Amino acid sequence: MMSEEIIHITETLLQRNRLFLKYYQEARETGITRDFHVVIKPFADEVKAITDDWKGIMKKWFADNSLKHIHLKQIDMTAEHMEQLSIQCFFSNTSKKRFLDTNRTVEFLLQEILKEVRKSKRDA
């Protein structure tokens, strides 16, 4: 049952990570910075809440399962990246290379987690 929860919440994070990219591209194209209290903070708070839940679930999962290519440290790093991206995506002056690299790193790790969890679910 926990694997279903991990799949669901990891897919939610993937959707948010793709939204970061969309918002970042909009910010760069328009040069418009959204209102901090109306748009940015509520969005970042929502992402943080989901990310904190995900981190907790992943740590429980790691206690009972080991993932070949994924380490606990990467879970913390990904959570940190998610929180940074959820704010940086609204600012056109955010370093494009760093933003895109971080976004891709998050995308890759989340996809790997989905693959591993689905595989372990099939093997169970």
- What is the predicted pLDDT for the residue at 2? 84
Angle at 53 between CA 7 and CA 98, to 5 degrees: 85
Whether the pLDDT of residue 124 is over 80: the answer is no
- What is the predicted pLDDT for the residue at 66? 74
CA distance readout (Å), 112 to 24, 58, 119, 122: 24, 13, 10, 15
| Contact between residue 33 and residue 27 where contact means Cβ atoms under 8 Å apart | yes
The string of pLDDT tens digits covering residues 66-119 is 777 788 999 999 999 999 999 999 999 999 999 999 999 999 999 999 998 998
- What is the predicted pLDDT for the residue at 5? 94
pLDDT band at 120 (very low <50, low <70, confident <90, very high): confident
